[in-house]
Amino acid sequence: MYSSNLRPGTSVLFIDDEVISNFISEKFIKKILKDPDITICIDGQSAITKLIKISNQDVNLLPDYIFLDITMPKMNGWEFLEAFRDLNIDPLGKTRIFILTCSFYKHDMIKSKSYKMVKAFISKPLNSEKLNNVFMSTN
């Protein structure tokens, strides 16, 4: 069942090195959003590179949503958030970032709140209920 209050082509970026998690998340997104534009990066560094390129072209083309894992190679989720903020990739604040992780550590949840661009801390696995909460709360 599609979420009726989101436009077709809503763009979503998953930044996660777990292939199975990305596969499952993509399936749920496709059930909830009509014709989503889904991109997957397996580490924070490749995501930052991609987002800088997009931002330099047109900040309005940045993803609507980013689902970010904390533990990844090359650049972890915390390092990604620092770079995203410090490089001012999203000067208009268009993108809504959600931590999507297996971590249940309270200090990770608290740390995520120190980044104003992070909208919520979501535990894996992603499912329809969690996604509906994300999309309903941000529209």
* pLDDT value for 102: 83
- State residue 5's pLDDT score: 52
- Determine the pLDDT at residue 78: 95
Q: Which two tokens stand for residue 4?
A: 């009726």
CB atoms within 10 A of CB 88: 9
Tell me: pLDDT of 138 over 90. no
Banded pLDDT at 1 (limits 50, 70, 90): very low
Its pTM stands at: 0.90
CB atoms near residue 13 (< 10 Å): 22
Judge whether 17 and 77 are in contact, CB under 8 Å.
no
Proportion of the chain above pLDDT 70, given as a percent: 91
Query: Where exactly are the structural domains of the chain?
Result: 11-137
The tens digit of pLDDT for each residue in 65-109 reads 999 999 998 899 999 999 999 999 999 999 999 999 887 778 888
Q: Six-digit token pair at 118?
A: 């992070």
- What's the chain's average pLDDT? 89
pLDDT score, position 7: 61
Question: What 8-state DSSP symbol labels residue 14?
Answer: E
According to CATH, the topology of domain 11-137 is: Rossmann fold (3.40.50)
- pLDDT category at 117 given cuts 50, 70, 90 is very high
The pLDDT, as a whole number, for residue 87 is 96
